[in-house]
Chain A
Amino acid sequence: MAILLLSLKFVLQNFEKKTIMGIISSSIARKVAMALSGLFLVFFLGQHFVINLTSVLDPDTFNSWSHFMGTNGLVQGLLQPILIFGVVFHFIMGFILELKNRNARAIKYASYKGSTNASWASRNMIISGLVVLAFLGLHFYDFWIPEMIHKYVESHPEDATRYYAETVHKFESPVRVGLYVISFVLLALHLWHGFASSFQSVGFNNKYSKGLTKFAKIYAIVIPLGFIFIAVYLHLNQLPH
């Protein structure tokens, strides 16, 4: 925790000193910024999963928690903009890193056996990341944009019971469920490398590292698998019995 706070302080100090360009001027600063934004998104993913899980366990709880998240001033006014900034920052920084890294080897190898020394997930973060980004576009189109229109454009009166039915309706289409499943498999691969790697990036490497890496690898499998389960469950649950 101390090292995370130290890293955060470092990023904030760089922001104060040199603005956003300061963050991307040093390779280690880029690593730390990428890791911290990734850790923030991993935390968000966990809480999103817990809320989604209630749609399977108890629709009333899902409605009440969704209503809270959708109407609470702190969540909507502060946490949501921070989350959107975190996603955009992580994506832009990932893209900058990819371009810089490609530029660092102008002439490619005729023979390069990347699989002998590194995992597919670690070598293809840009591919898994782009799939997750495309999924986010679909997810925003499915949920966030209709929610914004519902609340701020059409100005419907508040209805704390609408969320479960709206969510279930989205999972009627098997094509959409299929896209969600593929996206979460790629998300799992992205997390498989990214989550554990973020500890190394912020300089955390000691006797607790092995335990943390195990936790990160389990998280990378369990959370996306949980999201897949929810999507498939909501789809199958509304098929005619």
Chain B
Amino acid sequence: MKLTLKIWRQENASAKGNMQTYPIDGVEGDMSFLEMLDVLNEQLINKGEEPVVFDHDCREGICGSCSLQINGEPHGPDRLVTTCQLHMRKFNDGDTIVIEPFRAKAFPVIKDLMVDRGAFDRIQQAGGYVSVNTSGNTIDANAIPVEKELADEAFNAATCIGCGACVAACKNASAMLFTSAKVSQYALLPQGRVEATTRVLNMVEQMDKEGFGNCTNTGACEVECPKGISLENIARMNREYLSASLKG
């Protein structure tokens, strides 16, 4: 398969980037998108050029490291997959593929296609946890009964891998789907209820501080999320926030 790649190149965080065009040959349909970029980088290195920098780690669709806006969509045209699980058979011989970093003021570009998603870590640090006594008298989590439906919903929310596709897809670069998934996974469980009030207030405050946009309920985040995180989580977070604000 012969392709033309238009890739965002940016030397560093402060440099001005631009789109550059690279022809690539010998791409197999069974290659993942990242393997195709590996092939491109080998070619660039052989020619003495700088390889394209991009995020990746597990390449199994579970770590949340890979990103990329591919032909105008985060993680490309496929649904419910990350870029590392996107296969080149989704493209046709002769296609031109536009590859850009996830764009958001809160996700500054580090180099080329690699962005700093530390904003998500800081939101998580603001309350995305349960404080557990680890001094030796920790209560067994299984000792507290949890309704099956709630456990399932909490689990679904917890499948968010924090890749940032929701922010990249949203026309407002809003992080509501990510934050609401993290709020929900704890709010639904009895262990998480203890700190529910401070958690939602602190996480939303941090989300706003990071400079993400406002959610306008377009639903793009839900469609593009590789883990199928539901918009219901955003409604739940809004409820949690309303009730926490009134208590506070």
Which A residues are within 8 Å of any B CB, using their own CB?
A: 3, 6-7, 9-10, 13-14, 25-32, 97, 100-101, 103-114, 116-119, 122-123, 125, 193, 197, 200-205
- Decide yes or no whether B143 CB sits under 8 A from chain A: no
A14 and B213 CA atoms in complex are apart in Å by 21
A94 and B171 CA atoms in complex are apart in Å by 15
Check if A97 sits within 8 Å of B216, measured CB to CB.
Answer: yes
Chain B: interface secondary structure? mixed
Check if A101 sits within 8 Å of B6, measured CB to CB.
Answer: no
A101 CB to nearest B CB, Å:
4
CB-defined contacts of B172 to chain A, threshold 8 Å: 101, 104-105
Q: Of the candidates B6, B73, B211, B246, which one forms a contact with A110 in the assembled complex, judged by CB atoms under 8 Å apart? A: B6
Check if A197 sits within 8 Å of B235, measured CB to CB.
Answer: no
Q: Which of B205-244 contact A (CB under 8 A)?
A: 205, 207-208, 211-220, 223-224, 231-232, 234-243
Check if B215 sits within 8 Å of A31, measured CB to CB.
Answer: yes
A122 and B222 CA atoms in complex are apart in Å by 14
CB-defined contacts of A104 to chain B, threshold 8 Å: 104-106, 172-174, 211-214
Q: Can you add 14 more A-B contacts, CB < 8 Å, to A101-B174, A110-B98?
A: A6-B243, A13-B246, A28-B204, A29-B245, A101-B214, A103-B105, A112-B72, A114-B171, A116-B72, A117-B220, A118-B171, A119-B218, A122-B218, A203-B238
A182 and B89 CA atoms in complex are apart in Å by 45
Given A113-B71, A117-B224, residue A193 in contact with residue B213 (CB < 8 A): no
A100, A105, A112: residue with the most chain B Cβ atoms closer than 10 Å: A105
**Cross-chain pairs A/B with CB under 8 angstroms, 29 sampled:** A6-B246, A10-B246, A13-B245, A26-B204, A27-B212, A28-B204, A28-B237, A28-B238, A31-B238, A32-B238, A101-B213, A103-B105, A104-B105, A104-B173, A104-B213, A105-B103, A105-B173, A105-B213, A109-B69, A110-B6, A111-B100, A114-B171, A116-B72, A117-B219, A118-B219, A119-B218, A125-B216, A203-B235, A203-B236
Check if A203 sits within 8 Å of B239, measured CB to CB.
Answer: yes
CB-defined contacts of A103 to chain B, threshold 8 Å: 105, 211, 213
CB-defined contacts of B213 to chain A, threshold 8 Å: 100-101, 103-105
Chain A residue nearest to B232 in the complex (CB): A205
Check if B216 sits within 8 Å of A122, measured CB to CB.
Answer: yes
CB-defined contacts of A200 to chain B, threshold 8 Å: 217, 231, 234-235, 238
- Decide yes or no whether B150 CB sits under 8 A from chain A: no
- Decide yes or no whether B45 CB sits under 8 A from chain A: no
A146 CB to nearest B CB, Å:
36
By size class, the interface of chain B is: 35 or more
CB-defined contacts of A125 to chain B, threshold 8 Å: 216
Given A114-B171, A117-B220, A203-B236, residue A109 in contact with residue B72 (CB < 8 A): yes
Given A6-B246, A106-B105, A204-B235, residue A193 in contact with residue B217 (CB < 8 A): yes
CB-defined contacts of B77 to chain A, threshold 8 Å: 116
CB-defined contacts of A116 to chain B, threshold 8 Å: 72-73, 77, 223
CB-defined contacts of B71 to chain A, threshold 8 Å: 111, 113
B12 CB to nearest A CB, Å:
15
B97 CB to nearest A CB, Å:
9
Check if B239 sits within 8 Å of A107, measured CB to CB.
Answer: no
Given A27-B214, A97-B214, A205-B232, residue A105 in contact with residue B105 (CB < 8 A): yes
A9 and B215 CA atoms in complex are apart in Å by 22
Check if A202 sits within 8 Å of B224, measured CB to CB.
Answer: no
Check if B245 sits within 8 Å of A10, measured CB to CB.
Answer: yes
Chain A residue nearest to B17 in the complex (CB): A107
CB-defined contacts of A122 to chain B, threshold 8 Å: 216-219
Check if B104 sits within 8 Å of A105, measured CB to CB.
Answer: yes
Check if B235 sits within 8 Å of A30, measured CB to CB.
Answer: no
CB-defined contacts of A110 to chain B, threshold 8 Å: 6, 8, 19, 98, 100
B228 CB to nearest A CB, Å:
13
Chain B residue nearest to A103 in the complex (CB): B105
A49 and B234 CA atoms in complex are apart in Å by 33
Q: Of the candidates A10, A107, A111, which one forms a contact with B98 in the assembled complex, judged by CB atoms under 8 Å apart? A: A111
Q: Of the candidates B214, B220, B245, which one forms a contact with A31 in the assembled complex, judged by CB atoms under 8 Å apart? A: B214
